[in-house]
Every structure is written in structure tokens, then in C-alpha cells.
Structure 1
Amino acid sequence: MSLPSSSSTNANPSTGISSRRAFVGTTAAASAALASMVHTSAAHAAETRELRLALVGCGGRGKGALNDSLTINENIKLVSVADLYMKNCEFAVKSAARSHADKVAVPESKMYAGLDAYKKVLEDPEVDVVLLTTSPGFRPYHVLEAVQAGKHVFAEKPSCVDPAGYRVCLQAHELAEKNGTAIVTGTQYRRQTNYIGAVEQIRNGAIGDIVSAVTRYCSNGIWFKNREPGMSDTEYELYNWMHYIWLSGDQIAEQAVHNIDAMNWVMGSAPESAYGSGGRFTRPEGSEMWDSVSVDYVYPGDRRLSFMCRQIPGSESENGNVVYGTEGTCFISAMSGGSKILDRTGKEVWQQGGSIGEAYQQEHKDLIDSIRAGKPIVELKQTADSSLTAVMGRMAAYTGQRVSWDFVTKESTLDLFPKDLSWDGERPEPKFAIPGATKLV
């Protein structure tokens, strides 16, 4: 069901001003004064109107995103939630109400459970903004349907896990721009002060011309959930979603996309090609994930990025980015580690701190502020580009082939989303990629 854009209630006040001028037929001075009053009144109404939120995906990331929005924004209210399980809906609402009682008003009739629960949220004309935080495989399709329903959107990363989903994201981005509806994505580093400062320094020539870069997202492991009695194949894959590539995209897409996005930002574009390798040593039986991936990306201008991600218990962790230039080196640490620049002699010439917690909240403030200002942010394409960069690296590693940006954007037919998904349905036996055997499609 397609609903009018929620931004239509905040139509350009100049239309009303023009008709009033013709109606009253006053002097130019009086008309100008009236126009000013109408514009001020409309702007104030837009800034103060309560915006009603819905959450789709009530897991840990969903509850975190909701708390960030409720904490940083005023005059907003949670009015609806959806998840695969009703117990998750109930817990998310109770959790939010404990911290933000005056910003939560979700009746039982607006808690929805099941695979299609999100549709009930999108059909609700009272919902202005929807937070989409389900497992990533659903993201492109949920975002597109939300935009078609006229909703403003916060969409967690990654935006897609395959080239088919990427094309859906581009469609959603274009439609949102036409609709005047916002899409802000969960790439918080783009709103973290030390990242913003580092990119500004690089753009201003602080390290000279970029030659190469290194980024690492190496950690100790990730959760795995055992199958519970009575679960169908589909329910178990959704329950243990991280370990199925159609749902998570593997670590490189689901987690390390943060660092890839930062490097695309630094480089000013997506890379031209990827060549990679990796494997699995410690994953549980039944997991499709690899536990290490290394990719060499080539950006325009023959600038090289050495990328690595890893989730192996007992291994050394490293998370951050280093950008090498002709005149210096920029270190951009992940989380809240800050950034610094050293010149060619090793002298520190610039540094800046940053808080990831503040960045998590800032993305939600920017979303709501842009809606109220009548200038909705639409940033899905940049995050989709970064997500597809991760997918391109995964495809290169999985197949053992060099993969180009032109191929993944124009030729690849890879579409991982099941065509016959049902809650009680059967799913194929899980399998992991083997370079040389896994084909590039």
C-alpha cells in the first residue's frame, strides 16, 4: 500500500503565500510582511511537530538505534514496533519506556510479529519515521517499500549483501529524492568528529597526495546460536542470521563495512577492482561464514587499499585505518580512538578526538533535523556503494578471481535472497565458499 509522503504535510509555504497575496490584494510592503509571518509560522510548525517513530527489528541493534533517537531528539514518540517474535516487540517497548516514558506510546494493537510484520508498520498513516534494523538481507527491500509508503527512514548498515540488493537500493534512493523523504544510514563514522576532521585534513592537503591505505577490522569472534527444538529451517536461519550469507553478507559486509565506508569516503569513490583471499578455520559446523578475508582494492589513480577482517578467538585484535600520502601519514582509529597526522619526519602535526557514542546519536539527530527543516537527507547510495565494495571483496575472495566495479554494478546476476521464503519452509543445506569451485556470477 502506497501512502502519501509524510513530508507532504510540510509543503513549501511559498504556495500558500502566493495565493494569499492574490486574495488580499494589499500593497507590496503588506504582502512582504504577511509572507514573512506565514513562512515563520510554517517553519515553526515543522520544527515543533511531533514525529512518530516505528521500529522494525527489535534485537540489540534495533533497541540501540531506538534509544539513540529517543535520547538525542525532542518531540518524537515511538508508536509501533515489529519483529519476528512478539516477545522481542514487548521487551523493546518496555526497555524504551523505562528510559523514555514520555516518548513511548505503543499499544498492544501496534506490536506486530512475523515475516510480514513490517508491512503493518508501513501501512500505518500515523508513522512518520521507520527505523529498519533487521538482518541485512532484508534491508534493500524493506527500505524500498518504506520509501514507497512515504516514510522517512533510518536504515542500518550494510545496505545490501549482493549486487541485486544494490540495484534495489539505487531505486529506493532515487525515489526518496523524488518523494522528499529522508534516508539516513547507520554509518556513524561519517558523523564522528575525528573522522570528519581527518577527512577534512586530507582534503586540504595535510598529507599531500594519497598513495595508499591500510584498514583492519580484526576481532576475536562472533556469536553463534544453536538450533532450538521445533524450529524450521527458515526460522533457524533467521534466528542464527549472522552465519548465513544471504542474511549477513559475512563479516566483511556486516561488520567491516564501517572501515570500507571510511576508506571510500577518504578516496572519494568506490574502488575499481578487488583481488582477495581468505578462509575458515574456527567457524562452527553449519556456519557459512569465513573467519578471515584479505582484499587488495585498487582505487582511481592507482591508489591501493590493503584490507583485512578477521574473527578468530585468541588472535590479536586491530581496528582502524592508516592513510599514506606523499607528505605525511594519517591514522584514523576506530571506536573512540581519535585521529592524528604525522609528517615525513614522524612529528605529530595534528590530532583530534572523537566519541563513537556521540556519533551514534548524531546520525539520528541529523535525520530528524533534516525532516523538520524540510531538507531531508538522502544518503542511501553512498552506503550502498560501500556495502557493494564489501560484497565485491567477498566475491573476489570466495571465487579467487579479480572482480571489477563495472562487473558487480553492470553484469553480476548474484541474488542471494530466497525466492520462496516461508516461516515453516525448508532451506538448502548450508555450505561455505571454496575458491576455484565457487563461481563468479
Structure 2
Amino acid sequence: MANNSDIKRRDFVKTAGAVGAAAAAAARIQGAPAIQKVKAANNQVQYGMIGTGGRGQYLLRHLNSIDGGRCLAVCDIYRPNLEAAIKTSKDKPKGYLDYRELLARTDIDAVLIAVPLYLHFPITRDALLAGKHVFCEKSLVFKPEEVHALRALASSRPKQVLQVGLQRRYSKFYQTAKQMIEKGMLGNVTHVYAQWHRNPGWRMRQSPDPKRQREWNWRLFREFSGGLTAELASHQIDVATWMFGAEPEFVVGVGSLDTMKDGRDVYDNIQLIFNYPGGRKLMYSAISTNKHLSLFQGTRTEFGEVIMGTEGTIEITVGTDDEPAIGLWFYEPGPPKVEKAAGVKEKPVIAGATLATTGRGQIGLPILFERDLVTGKESFLARELKYARLWLYKRGIMVPEEDRNPVDVELDEFFQCCRTGARPKADLQVGLADSTAVILSNLAMDEGRRVYFSEIEKMGRTPEAKGRKA
């Protein structure tokens, strides 16, 4: 059983480091711990949840509807969150205050990690060393040295699944947008715009323990958090990287703390520009003073992305538990070809005349899933139903909806990968690329300069490691 007294977070980190070092030493002497084999009845993955605050409890509610896993244990250092998680899970798991006790259980195949960012790496490391499959919420790691350490550790344990919580990768809308790009339906995709605007955004909360005020508000302090870039932008940077099919070359940005003067030290507004190969760019904005979103005819607020190509545009946003995802496609016709008639004198150009010739806007067409496309192989009734849906979509009477929440899809895939050894869509490479973007974006804003992504290879390495790399 767990100790009755809560573990202090700083002690939590220290003991995490100690147990990691001890486990690594034991692995060298005795061989690595055996990877947990999925052996429960009905081939269910038996898992534990580490971190049962707001996000952890949210995941548990979704996990209740997924048959592929069974929750045996939950862990949190704050007892009210721990007790709430036990009540939330349909499996009525055992509760722990010390995550090491959870990892020591040999009947647990996998762990899901939803702790504050600064604890992601130590707990992920210890879980891998304990032979567990790991699902970790974004951003996967916090510091440059953790990028290198986790890459090395995970690469040495290829039979263990490591998945990061970037749920847009599991949305049918975003998957369809990627397919449209690959088919050339948007032409040459050159720019992505993304925003996550809130009003007021994060507020400073009063901690039950006044001595731990900073840790209770961990998102607001740099010693624990990557700020807006890690907590919000990371999702949308990943979207751009996915859609472009490449990682950024450099980033520039401006961030400042202008409004939320409550003792925090993270920025309350950020503006970033990422340059990708071929001059393609992601333009990103996150603010805390206004939540307007000038997409989707004003039907949604806060967050969304615009994918712009030479022949079309997609406006897209992920759904929530209460709101559906949206994907709209705007066709961009080329300029009309006009042939000059013989003997006709060309009219002089009038300054400002282009303002009158920009062309009319259009209503976006909904992104269609494969199930909505008419292939000619359907039965008469199935084909007529598709035509009817298309008619309703075009007139805005009905919109396509995902049959499953992407959060459910990502969790279900995690369990499937644990059983089969398959590689998840949001794997180690995706997670580390996203974390690297967060780390370097914050550096660009702090130092007021262009930061190249190649710089990560020299950051966070000891002199010995640099020598080995060279």
C-alpha cells in the first residue's frame, strides 16, 4: 500500500531520478526487465494511469468506453484527485501515491502518463525501464537533454510501444485533409495559419497548500512548464509538420507578458513563424485577451487551422466532447486567361484598381470522408443515400461528422499497438519532433533571434556525449 503522506513534487522528481539510475544499473547487471506481455482475459491490456488531475480524469472517462483495456491502478500525489480517479474508472482500480509502486506491479502491461510537463521524462523513462508500454501526453519531453536521452532509451527498447497524445493525428477530418494534399487537390501547399486564442486563459489558482502555490499552478512557471507553446501550440505545430511532410528549418517569434500580471513568468501572448523546406511557413498566434476565431463563418471560437495552397484552402478544427470537428474546403480557381484582341490598345493600369478585382468569396464545401464518395460500386439505394447527403452538405443543412472522438481512437490504437507491436501514428519520432519545436520556439522568443532546428543536436549534451556524436 502507498504511504499516507503525500510526496512532495521536488522529492518526487529526485526519487524518480534515483529509481531511474538504479533501474538502469540493474539492467546492465541482470539484463533489462522483461517486456510485459498482454495476458489478461479477452486479450485486454491491463494498464495504470499516472497523474489523475483534470487531464487524467478526462482520459479515464474516455477509457471507460473502450473495451481494449482494463485499469488496474491509478496514481497521484494529491489524494482528492486520486480518490476522484478511483470513482471515475469503471474498473475501480487500486490507488497509489507513489508511482514506483504502480510500476512494480507485474500484472500491469502499460501506463498512461498525464502529469505536469516537467515530470514527463522521468516517469516515462522509469516506465520503459520497468518494461511497460507507454502513452504520454504532449509535450513528450521538457528539456533538450531529455530529447536525446529518450531517443536513445526508446531506440534500445524497440518492442515497447511509446505513443504521445496528439489526437489530431487520429481525426478523420485531419487524415482526409492530408489525403487531399497528397492528391494535389490544394495545389502547392505553401502556408498554414494556426491560432489558439483564449479570454482570459489560465488563471492563478489558490493552492490548498500555500507553500506549494507555484507547483499547483505549474503551467504558469517556467521551471515546470513550456507555457503557451507547450500546452497549446504543440498540437498545431504538429499539424503543420504533418501536412507539410517535413520538419521546420528555423523559427522566429515574439512573446511577452503584458496582461496577466499575477506573478507568473510564462508569456501570456506569443507570435511564431516557422520556416519549412521550400519556403513554406506556419504562422502561429496564441493570446489571452480575446477568443474570436475568424473561421467557419464565426460558428466557433478559440482554435483552428487554415491550410493554404495554390489551388485551394482548408479551414479545420478538432472537435470537443460537446462540439463536432469542422473541415471546410475552399476551391481557388486560377486567374482567367484573357487573350488580347488584335488592334485593341491596352488600358493603362490605375493605382488601387486591384482592390476591385479580387473576386468574390465563396462558401466552403465540407470535407468528405471516403464513406461519402460515390464510387459507382454501390447498390442503387446506397448511391442515392450518398447523393442525398451530398445535397444536404452542400446547402449547409447537414455536415459530416466523425463516427468516433479522436481521443477514443488514439487510446484504442494504443491498446492495439500494445497487443500487436505495431507502430502508433503519434510515435516517438513525432513526439520528439514536436517537443523540439516547443523548446526551440521558446528559445527564439527569449533570445529574440532566428533559431535553427539543427541547434538541438548541440543542446543539452555533456562534453563526452558531444564527442561521441561527432
Instruction: Please state which band the TM-score falls in when normalised by the shorter chain.
Output: 0.7 to 0.9
Q: Quick check: 1:146–1:152 contact (8 Å CA) kept in 2?
A: yes
Q: How many angstroms does 1:62 deviate by? A: 0.3
Q: Which residue of 2 aligns with 1:223?
A: 202
- Among candidates 236, 239, 250, match of residue 262 of structure 1: 239
Q: Which residue of 2 aligns with 1:292?
A: 269
Q: How many angstroms does 1:145 deviate by? A: 1.5
- Among candidates 351, 356, 359, match of residue 367 of structure 2: 351
Q: How has the CA–CA distance of structure 1 residues 105 and 134 changed in structure 2, closer, same or farther, with 3 Å as cutoff?
A: closer
Q: Quick check: 2:198–2:291 contact (8 Å CA) kept in 1?
A: no
Q: Secondary structure at the match of 2:156?
A: helix
Partners in 2 of 1:181 and 1:295 — Cα distance?
35
1:104 and 2:92 equivalent?
yes
Q: How many pairs align?
A: 362
The code of the aligned residue for 1:95 comes to T
Partners in 1 of 2:403 and 2:225 — Cα distance?
23
TM-score between the two structures when normalised by the length of structure 2: 0.71
Partners in 2 of 1:124 and 1:73 — Cα distance?
22
The code of the aligned residue for 2:272 comes to V
Partners in 2 of 1:94 and 1:47 — Cα distance?
23
Q: Quick check: 2:197–2:291 contact (8 Å CA) kept in 1?
A: no
Q: Quick check: 1:46–1:373 contact (8 Å CA) kept in 2?
A: no
Partners in 1 of 2:156 and 2:79 — Cα distance?
32
Q: How has the CA–CA distance of structure 1 residues 228 and 373 changed in structure 2, closer, same or farther, with 3 Å as cutoff?
A: closer
Q: Which residue of 2 aligns with 1:23?
A: none
Q: Secondary structure at the match of 1:312?
A: coil
Q: Secondary structure at the match of 2:75?
A: strand
The code of the aligned residue for 1:239 comes to W
Aligned runs of 1:399-410 on 2, under 5 Å? 399-407=447-455, 409-410=456-457
Q: Which residue of 1 aligns with 2:54?
A: 60
Q: How has the CA–CA distance of structure 1 residues 153 and 229 changed in structure 2, closer, same or farther, with 3 Å as cutoff?
A: closer
Superposed CA deviations along residues 274-329 of structure 1, whole A, max 9, x for unmatched, are: 11112122224320121110011100111111111112267765411112212222
Q: How has the CA–CA distance of structure 1 residues 292 and 356 changed in structure 2, closer, same or farther, with 3 Å as cutoff?
A: farther
Partners in 1 of 2:436 and 2:252 — Cα distance?
14
Q: How many angstroms does 1:70 deviate by? A: 2.7
1:370 and 2:417 equivalent?
yes
Q: Quick check: 2:61–2:88 contact (8 Å CA) kept in 1?
A: no
Q: Quick check: 2:160–2:421 contact (8 Å CA) kept in 1?
A: no
Partners in 1 of 2:273 and 2:461 — Cα distance?
21
Aligned runs of 1:18-417 on 2, under 5 Å? 48-74=42-68, 76-96=69-89, 100=90, 103-106=91-94, 111-113=95-97, 117-177=98-158, 180-228=159-207, 231-232=210-211, 235-312=212-289, 317-335=301-319, 336-345=324-333, 348=364, 351-352=367-368, 353-355=400-402, 358-375=405-422, 377=424, 379-407=427-455, 409-413=456-460
Superposed CA deviations along residues 125-182 of structure 1, whole A, max 9, x for unmatched, are: 12111110000111122112111111011111111233223223323431342xx111
Q: How many angstroms does 1:80 deviate by? A: 1.5
Q: Quick check: 1:47–1:372 contact (8 Å CA) kept in 2?
A: no
Partners in 2 of 1:77 and 1:342 — Cα distance?
44
Partners in 1 of 2:411 and 2:241 — Cα distance?
22
Q: Which residue of 2 aligns with 1:421?
A: none
Q: How many angstroms does 1:66 deviate by? A: 1.9
Computing the radius of gyration from Cα coordinates, the structure with the larger value is 2
Partners in 1 of 2:225 and 2:239 — Cα distance?
20
Q: Quick check: 2:141–2:147 contact (8 Å CA) kept in 1?
A: yes
Which structure 1 segments of 5+ residues have no match? Answer: 11-44, 416-441
Q: Secondary structure at the match of 1:247?
A: coil
Q: What's the RMSD between the two structures over aligned residues?
A: 2.5
The code of the aligned residue for 2:101 comes to K
Q: Secondary structure at the match of 1:248?
A: coil
The code of the aligned residue for 1:265 comes to W
Q: Quick check: 2:273–2:283 contact (8 Å CA) kept in 1?
A: yes
Partners in 2 of 1:193 and 1:5 — Cα distance?
36
The code of the aligned residue for 1:331 comes to E
Percent identity over the alignment?
24
TM-score between the two structures when normalised by the length of structure 1: 0.76
